[in-house]
Amino acid sequence: MALEFPKIEDLHNAALAVNLQRKLDGKTKPLGALGHLESLAHQLGMILGSETPDLHLPQLLVCAADHGMAARGVSAYPSDVTWQMVGNFLAGGAAVSVLARQHSITQTVVDCGVRHDFPAAPGLLNRKIAQGTQDASQGPAMSLAQCEQAVTNGMQIVQDMPGNALLLGEMGIGNTSAAALLLARLADIDVAECAGAGTGLNEEGIARKTAVLREALAANKEACEPLPVLAALGGFEIATLTGAVLTAAHQRRVILVDGFISSSAVMVASKLAPFVLQRCIFAHRSSEQGHARMLREMSATPLFDLGLRLGEGSGAALAWPMLVSACAILRDMASFESAGVSGKSE
Ligand SMILES: Cc1cc2ncn([C@H]3O[C@H](COP(=O)(O)O)[C@@H](O)[C@H]3O)c2cc1C
Ligand SMILES: O=C(O)c1cccnc1
């Protein structure tokens, strides 16, 4: 049976848009003086359908999986790092775990297809489909059925999650290759513009990676539609995130996107349902070559650029307090009228 996607409506609401802007303009500050924080507050109000938006119980999904193509030397690190880092997330020692804890964000790690089996643990969901994908340079990374299962898993995980905000994170050695392939095929860009250093390849390594990616595109020539492309060139963690994004958008959650890889899941979801992008806030521009191009493909402006190139959801967790602040400004800041402050004289 074909996969059914949740309905994602246009958030368009002219009255709310006008009221939010009027409210922001009436706050005790020179017009527009809070810069991008004002557009962020406006977007949060539109997503949550409120002039007094309030974020609660933020949920970070760290979707993890391995990539068959990693055996071709497309990463500077070995595949074993994927399962070892899952252990690190669960122990609370990874960068994103530290940041999530600092901001009271609930971290859930999802084993979507890691080449290692984990004992049951708090904060770990087992949604393993296989012990990693097949090598995409030889043919499809996943079957369409496996890909649909991964998307369905992501939809189901988000369905009953508490809170009204989803932060996207991932772990999977080789997954900057998968994200680059998705960008190359879905945006029709030369893969040399999409492939970057990932975990730290040098120039020679990037050239080798690019050559392998060209093989993957040639081995999967027939995949053009978003879901078959995701199956052929993506990964279990990216497919699970794609499903998570679709359900989060359907439920009007705020979706806080991290770097190159989590953006690739959003890109796939937006090709399936364009209004997804209305609910997405892009935390940052990763220094991974290809992310700027991917953001452009989605007409997305990120909140900041700190030269991050980690993934895991680290940039999303860093951006979280800015979203909380934007809501607080809209809710709690005095207006010229309420505070008795004089407005602009000319
Ligand atoms: C120790 C370590 C921790 C990480 N945390 C995230 N990534 C990041 O690096 C990987 C993608 O880069 P590539 O495509 O070059 O393999 C992903 O796992 C991503 O989450 C890590 C990578 C390493 C080595
Ligand atoms: O931007 C990212 O998500 C990223 C970049 C490099 C390595 N891992 C992740």
SS3 content of the chain, % helix, strand, coil (to 5): 50, 10, 40
Q: Are residues 44 and 125 in the same domain?
A: no
**What separation in Å is there between the alpha carbon of 144 and the centre of ligand 1?**
26
Q: Are residues 281 and 315 in the same domain?
A: yes
Determine if ligand 1 sits within 6 Å of the CB of residue 171. yes
Q: Is residue 9 part of a domain?
A: no
- Residues annotated catalytic, as ranges: 312
Q: Is residue 214 part of a domain?
A: yes
Q: What is the pLDDT along the chain (346 residues), one digit of tens a residue?
A: 678 999 999 999 999 999 999 999 999 999 999 999 999 999 999 999 999 999 999 999 999 999 999 999 999 999 999 999 999 999 999 999 999 999 999 999 999 999 999 999 999 999 999 999 999 999 999 999 999 999 999 999 999 999 999 999 999 999 999 999 999 999 999 999 999 999 999 999 999 999 999 999 999 999 999 999 999 999 999 999 999 999 999 999 999 999 999 999 999 999 999 999 999 999 999 999 999 999 999 999 999 999 999 999 999 999 999 999 999 999 999 999 999 999 989 8
**What separation in Å is there between the alpha carbon of 175 and the centre of ligand 1?**
8
Q: Are residues 149 and 33 in the same domain?
A: no
- The number of the ligand 1 atom at minimal distance from the alpha carbon of 64 is 18
> In the structure encoding, which two tokens stand for residue 187, read together?
């945006």
As a whole number of angstroms, the distance between CA 202 and CA 196 comes to: 9
Q: Are residues 48 and 111 in the same domain?
A: no
What SS3 class is residue 109? strand
If you ran DSSP here, which 8-state letter would residue 184 be given?
A: H
Q: Is residue 26 part of a domain?
A: yes
Work out the angle at residue 56's Cα, subtended by the Cα atoms of residues 301 and 284, and round it to the nearest 5 degrees: 20
Determine if ligand 2 sits within 6 Å of the CB of residue 176. yes
Q: What is the CATH number of the domain that holds 64?
A: 3.40.50.10210
b/e map 311-326, b = 16+ CB within 10 Å: bbbbbbbbbbebbeeb
Query: Which pLDDT score, from 0 to 100, does residue 346 have?
Result: 80
Q: Is residue 131 part of a domain?
A: yes
Q: Is residue 6 part of a domain?
A: no
> In the structure encoding, which two tokens stand for residue 9, read together?
């409506």
Q: Is residue 344 part of a domain?
A: no
> In the structure encoding, which two tokens stand for residue 203, read together?
């120039």
Q: Is residue 5 part of a domain?
A: no
Q: Are residues 50 and 99 in the same domain?
A: no
Q: Is residue 345 part of a domain?
A: no
Work out the angle at residue 38's Cα, subtended by the Cα atoms of residues 32 and 41, and round it to the nearest 5 degrees: 160
**What separation in Å is there between the alpha carbon of 170 and the centre of ligand 1?**
9
Q: Are residues 246 and 99 in the same domain?
A: yes
pLDDT tens for 196-231 read 999 999 999 999 999 999 999 999 999 999 999 999
ipTM of the complex: 0.99
Q: Are residues 108 and 181 in the same domain?
A: yes
To 10 degrees, the CA torsion angle through 185, 186, 190, 196?
-90
Q: Are residues 138 and 199 in the same domain?
A: yes
Q: Are residues 77 and 23 in the same domain?
A: no
**What separation in Å is there between the alpha carbon of 314 and the centre of ligand 1?**
12
Which residue, 252, 251, 253, 281, is CA-closest to 266? 281
Number of domains in the chain: 2
Q: What is the CATH number of the domain that holds 26?
A: 1.10.1610.10
Closest-approaching ligand to the CA atom of 96: 1
Q: Are residues 21 and 83 in the same domain?
A: no
Q: Are residues 72 and 129 in the same domain?
A: yes
Query: Which pLDDT score, from 0 to 100, does residue 1 have?
Result: 60
Strand stretches in 158-290, DSSP E: 165-171, 254-257, 280-282
Question: Which residue's alpha carbon is at the smallest distance from atom 7 of ligand 1?
Answer: 310
Q: Are residues 214 and 270 in the same domain?
A: yes
If you ran DSSP here, which 8-state letter would residue 284 be given?
A: B
CA 54 to chain centre: 21
Domain extent at residue 40 = 14-54+328-339
From 63, 81, 262, mutation site for ligand 1 pocket: most ligand atoms within 8 A of C-beta: 81
What SS3 class is residue 302? coil
